[in-house]
Chain A
């Protein structure tokens, strides 16, 4: 079945450091891929998405590229801020049009000043 695997956290970085959170997936067909972010005490919010191979999703300085050959969708940011501290979830949605999401386990990011 479909699945998503993220790198384990927590990830602790200093402000202005480079961020990479790895995400790989297993799926039949060509899923859509997402990164969601959860700030403390809140629900999840869509950060970025990509719907086909080689698409790059970007938002708020974060980027991720849909790599079909490596079944990956790694999240990157060139310079993190304290306000980026949150839990990040990689997710996929198959093409069944049900909108169901399959999530990775989440990666906690803590950015220190």
Chain B
């Protein structure tokens, strides 16, 4: 069981560069999420998708865009990376009340 798969696991960007974080789940879940994890702040929701074809902003959406490509895939794009976006990013999907998380992408913006 792959569950939720994120790529890449690590990435270093220069300020102003763009990149897309990929996420795929094989559990046939309708809802998917992107969170960022910062020291002392827990996880904060960036964007979520309640179903294929819909996306909504979370708590900290500025500087990000998302695409729900199909039911399996939900990508997060940084158009112009900033040092404040240095963080660990987690993708998740939910069934009923339980969330399943990927292993995370550690992103450093220099």
Select the stretch in A14-22, A62-70, A76-84, A102-110 that faces chain B.
Answer: A102-110
Nearest CB in chain A: distance from B87 CB, A: 14
- Is B43 touching A89 in the complex (CB atoms < 8 A)? yes
0 or 1 for each of A19-38: is its CB under 8 Å from B? (1 = yes): 00000000000001010100
- Is A99 touching B42 in the complex (CB atoms < 8 A)? no
Residues of the A chain whose Cβ atoms lie less than 8 Å from the Cβ of B103: 41-43
From A43, A100, A103, A106, name the one whose CB has the most chain B CB atoms within 10 angstroms.
A43
Residues of the B chain whose Cβ atoms lie less than 8 Å from the Cβ of A36: 99
Contact-size category for A: 20 to 34
With A43-B4, A43-B104, A44-B90 given, is the CB distance from A101 to B40 under 8 Å? no
Q: Of all chain B residues, which has the CB nearest A43?
A: B101
Residues of the A chain whose Cβ atoms lie less than 8 Å from the Cβ of B35: 101
Residues of the A chain whose Cβ atoms lie less than 8 Å from the Cβ of B48: 98-100
* A93 CB–B CB distance under 8 Å: yes
* B97 CB–A CB distance under 8 Å: yes
- A interface with B by C-beta (< 8 Å): 4, 32, 34, 36, 41-46, 49, 51, 89, 93, 98-106
Q: Of all chain B residues, which has the CB nearest A104?
A: B42
- Is A93 touching B97 in the complex (CB atoms < 8 A)? yes
Residues of the B chain whose Cβ atoms lie less than 8 Å from the Cβ of A46: 98-99
- Is A99 touching B101 in the complex (CB atoms < 8 A)? no
Give the contacting residue for B45; candidates A4, A45, A49, A101; CB below 8 A: A101
- Is A98 touching B97 in the complex (CB atoms < 8 A)? no
0 or 1 for each of B5-31: is its CB under 8 Å from A? (1 = yes): 000000000000000000000000001
Alpha-carbon distance between A89 and B33 when the two chains are bound, in angstroms: 17
Q: Of all chain A residues, which has the CB nearest B6?
A: A43
Nearest CB in chain A: distance from B90 CB, A: 6
